[in-house]
Amino acid sequence: MRTEVAVVGGGPAGLIAARELASKGVQVKVFEEHPEIGTPNHCAGILSVEGLKRIGVELDLKFLRHEINGGTAFAPDGTGIRITGSRTRAYIVDRAIFDRHLAETARDAGAEIERNHRILDFIYEDGRVAGIRGDLDVEASMVIDAEGASGVLARKAGLPRPGGGVLAGINANVTDAQLEPGMVEVWFGEGLADGLFAWAVPAGEDEARCGLATGKGDALELLRGFIKNRFGLTEFGEPARWPVLTGGPVDKTHGDGLLLVGDVAGHTKPTTGGGVILGGMCAMMAAETAIQALEEEDYSAGFLGRYDERWREALGGEFSSMLGMRRFLNSLPDPRMNRIFASVKSAGLEATLETFIDEGDMDLQSGVLRKALTHPGMLRVMASSLGRLALGELNSLFNL
């Protein structure tokens, strides 16, 4: 069997790349190991309104579950900072249905989607990737690897897999759990979710989707404790576990005949671990490079390196700002985090933060981070909570 482009993995990144290629008349086949697209679903499903537009997804009631216009962040000692926006900022989507919708759009554009096919390796020809090998061999001019966080095939091809910042993620639905409509909650704490946070988002009437990602401890036990403390409940639905990536992009996302997209490329937001939007945006850039390569009949690493250059130019600064913020947050012991929350409240800066977040971009966060970190009031909070030395380090992380 032969195709112009073979895509490994029927998650958002692979399906978006396939949609873009097929819509330009490229012959593309997607190979997904599971019998059904979208299942198992590991995701909290928070996707920004702007982000959905950026990845070319029209809103559809099939997958939209809740509108989100704000949230409350809780310090380890329980101090909450509540931010409400003037508009809908994000949606909670049902990721299983969302992914199936992406598959339908890709199919409608002309892509073929083969389920129940686990790809075991690439086919190599003269040292370059020239197809995929599973229970059937498929030759291809090029392969797009969208296998997700595991990075098994990428590593076999000699490319780096996501390294630092790989956290144990877990999610479960909790019934009889009330949340304020339109609001999400994030909870910080080294003993709760070291390296990220725990979350509770609306999942239905009197139902919440609770989860966390952590670099330390048993994620299931931590989730159990979180649900008990937050809702006083001990029962919850079947938990889904999967890695959450906060370490930023891998060093190289292309090889001879090969492009990496989505989680396998480390294209997630280091501040939150969310990867659908940035992964999807980079997948669209990968598809553009693949189309140029097909036109030029040049699948060499030299040519495909245009993809690396392209996403780094568009999003490299975003990834590094968010990585700077992640490193800063990871460096804060709980008492310091508590002090920052308390100082923001006592300095009356909640409304200022609310304006920044209301005007800021949920996915391209460098602007809002820079604004917050150069605001005189916020600088005073940081200086009083962190001391001059740590403030200096923070400034150098952001080149302020």
Ligand X SMILES: Cc1cc2nc3c(=O)[nH]c(=O)nc-3n(C[C@H](O)[C@H](O)[C@H](O)COP(=O)(O)OP(=O)(O)OC[C@H]3O[C@@H](n4cnc5c(N)ncnc54)[C@H](O)[C@@H]3O)c2cc1C
- The residue ranges that bind ligand X (CB under 6 A) are 8-14, 31-34, 42-47, 118-119, 146-148, 153, 169, 171, 211, 242, 244, 262-263, 268, 273-277, 279
Q: Which is nearer to ligand X, 213 or 294 (CB)?
A: 213
Query: What is the rounded distance in angstroms from the CA atom of residue 131 to the CA atom of residue 390?
Result: 50
Q: Which is nearer to ligand X, 104 or 350 (CB)?
A: 104
Residue placing its CB nearer to ligand X in the complex, 121 or 350: 121
Q: How many CB atoms lie within 10 A of CB 171?
A: 28
CB of 125 to ligand X, least distance (A): 20
Nearer to ligand X, 204 or 392 (CB): 204
Q: Which is nearer to ligand X, 45 or 270 (CB)?
A: 45
Largest CA distance in the chain: 66
Would you say 286 or 337 has its CB closer to ligand X? 286
Q: Which residues contact 314 (CB under 8 A, 6 or more apart)?
A: 281, 285
Min dist CB 114 to ligand X, Å, is 9
Minimum CB separation of residue 26 from ligand X in Å reads 19
Residues 6 or more apart whose Cβ sits within 8 Å of residue 216: 190, 194, 195
Nearest approach in angstroms of CB 80 to ligand X is 20
The position carrying tokens 């709760």 is 192
| Closest CB to ligand X among residues 275, 324 | 275
Q: Are 366 and 318 in contact (CB under 8 A)?
A: yes
Smallest gap from residue 331 Cβ to ligand X (A): 23
Least distance in Å: CB of 383 to ligand X?
33
Taking residue 312's Cβ as centre, other Cβ atoms within 10 Å add up to 15
Distance CA 168, CA 242 (A): 6
Q: For ligand X, which is the closer residue by CB, 47 or 130? A: 47
CB of 374 to ligand X, least distance (A): 27
Provide the CA 171 distance to its chain's centre, in angstroms. Answer: 15
Helix (H) or strand (E) holding 13: helix 12-23
Instruction: Identify which of residues 14 and 76 has a Cβ nearer to ligand X in the complex.
Output: 14
Burial profile 269-292: b = 16 or more Cβ within 10 angstroms, e = fewer: bbbbbbbbbbbbbbbbbbbbbbbe
Q: Is the peptide bond before 376 cis (omega within 30 degrees of 0)?
A: no
Residue whose C-alpha is closest to residue 195's, from 173, 222, 167:
167
Closest approach of Cβ 224 to ligand X, in Å? Answer: 15
Q: For residue 147, what are the CA distances in angstroms to 134, 151, 210, 360?
A: 14, 7, 25, 31
CB of 117 to ligand X, least distance (A): 6
Chain centroid offset of residue 277 CA: 7
Q: Quick one: tokens of 61? A: 């009631």
Q: CB of 47: closest distance to ligand X in angstroms? A: 6
Decide if 259 contacts 289 (C-beta within 8 A): yes
- 61 — alpha (psi -120 to 50), left (phi > 0) or beta? alpha
Q: Which residues contact 6 (CB under 8 A, 6 or more apart)?
A: 28, 29, 31, 131, 132, 138, 140, 142, 143, 144
Nearest to ligand X of 153, 369 (CB atom):
153
